[in-house]
Structure 1
């Protein structure tokens, strides 16, 4: 379905007028709602914006990057996500930027890498996961080439920018490759050979209300650089654990998936250790009910991933019982925990949908996939006694979580319809 989705054309006129107020609002929205998730811009980026305005966006990699940032900011500042997807306030920026795409592909530079990352983030915002994934893979390959050819070997500042952009697009690729069921791109092949990012020289939008100069001082709502780097490191650690979880599953001679209980315990200890290392600014109470309103969007997303990880660990025991048709005593506790983990995941994920704008498609895809599994488990005669009335209520909440923005994504429409169809076939006592 996503493959048949029409792509935005680049044939529109590149001539447009920018109002200073609109420009400031878009930059502020990008800084507050997008950049904390994927900190791909250097501290001097505001000067680049000024230069592009003065040159009337003459075709260049700088102009492309600024246009993509403004486009994403325009989407982020809309009253609702569905409003942005309907009105497309980003379209004038995007169509102008796409006319410069050949420069991005051909140029082998840090700026062209940032451009690919910004484009991937933008399509992720538009709920176009295939385009976001493909652009992320291009960015990853370009980053690897720049790193291993030693382009910034003696330039610590630009090397740090390179590493941070690389880590950002690697996260996007990792979030999308599994739910889209795409061929393995080996994007993480050299991941351990490339250093981890630090918090130096990260852009944040700063301005004094009385002055139009974008390089003036006075911060507006952007998290400190060290928090951005800390969140990125927490995400990298979670992504590595998820890969470890996936590779721990083996195929038996009978053709069934096996997951040793010892490995399950080890992985569970691993995620609890990950949680214990989170700094206070990203610490969450796993079972807070309702979710703490004081949490930052990033904290809510980390909490959601925490529960998704625990669901995936317990799911192996569920599958083993379904495949063997035998309620093994040693697996009962893990299966009982599975339903509790599912409830906590949905509670956190539905909360994350309201604040985690760049990751919405992934959140919806996870809600769908995990809920289909939960329904399969709760409907199984052997496991039904371990499910609770809360499980069925949670399944209905999962279906209701799909908001108006899902109408603008063929894949999300299909997920929503499949989930509704699945729940409509439940016995009356669970309706």
Structure 2
């Protein structure tokens, strides 16, 4: 079994029904410097690196002698360092600022779909780093100031993740399942966190807005996948129950 596999490029015949793998993947006539093969190669290298990080470790905990797990801030810090190093090493055509507020709208940029998907993975990974802090608070029913600080980072990452995921869903049709299931899983985790009384003080308003946006991400999925439609219905119902309980 060979260790080297040629990387697919935009010049290959990749199709998704009648649509291209990524929308807006054809360079404009005035974009003479765009190199599809170089852009695709850079994207796949970045994607492989991200997946290797995810496979290596996304659970920032330490195991105690009795076998129980506790949140480990030092592990979380190292994972975030590796993630930010990955971001800094992205080539210019795939680079993005770590803030959805400054994200440009996808469209004429041939690599915008690639950028949106990588950005979404960035925030999904970041949320997974800090989820164990929230889980520990949920399990204990309390959190000290240090744990609250890291829980706040989870909610901030979630608030950035959802707009990125929604933007990616609009342009990355082949990744629809991955994106929607990520929205469902991370949003349900966030919903568990925002309903915990000891964490209310660190839940930003943007995270609550993110829940509303997440529920809309599944609109139109019934025609594509009944299972995705079911996820969307479960998420919407859970969010509605949350609002009723806090009114």
Q: Give your verdict on TM over 0.5.
A: yes
Tell me if structure 2 keeps the 8 A contact 1:343–1:390.
Answer: yes
User: How many angstroms apart in 2 are the aligned matches of 1:421 and 1:259?
Assistant: 30
Instruction: Quote the residue 1:333 is aligned against.
Output: 149
Secondary structure of residue in 2 paired with 1:258: strand
Structure 1 residue 75 and structure 2 residue 6: aligned? Answer: no
Instruction: Quote the residue 1:367 is aligned against.
Output: 183
Pairwise CA RMSD: 3.2
Structure 1 residue 281 and structure 2 residue 93: aligned? Answer: yes
Q: Deviations over 1:85-111 (max 9, x none)?
A: xxxxxxxxxxxxxxxxxxxxxxxxxxx
Secondary structure of residue in 2 paired with 1:233: helix
Structure 1 residue 307 and structure 2 residue 123: aligned? Answer: yes
Dislocated runs of 4+, deviation >4 Å:
247-256
Secondary structure of residue in 1 paired with 2:171: coil
Equivalent positions of 1:31-430 (< 5 A) are 39-40=7-8, 72-76=15-19, 223-246=35-58, 249=61, 252=64, 256-289=68-101, 291-293=103-105, 294=109, 296-428=112-244
User: How many angstroms apart in 2 are the aligned matches of 1:419 and 1:254?
Assistant: 36
Q: Which has the larger radius of gyration?
A: 1
Q: Where in structure 2 are there 5+ consecutive unaligned residues?
A: 1-5
User: How many angstroms apart in 1 are the aligned matches of 2:79 and 2:206?
Assistant: 26
User: How many angstroms apart in 1 are the aligned matches of 2:102 and 2:217?
Assistant: 16
1:74 deviation in Å? 3.3
User: How many angstroms apart in 1 are the aligned matches of 2:120 and 2:71?
Assistant: 23
Tell me if structure 1 keeps the 8 A contact 2:8–2:40.
Answer: no
The higher relative CO (CA closer than 8 Å, separation ≥ 6) is in 2
Q: Where in structure 1 are there 5+ consecutive unaligned residues?
A: 1-37, 47-68, 78-120, 126-203, 206-218
1:318 deviation in Å? 0.8
User: How many angstroms apart in 1 are the aligned matches of 2:216 and 2:242?
Assistant: 16
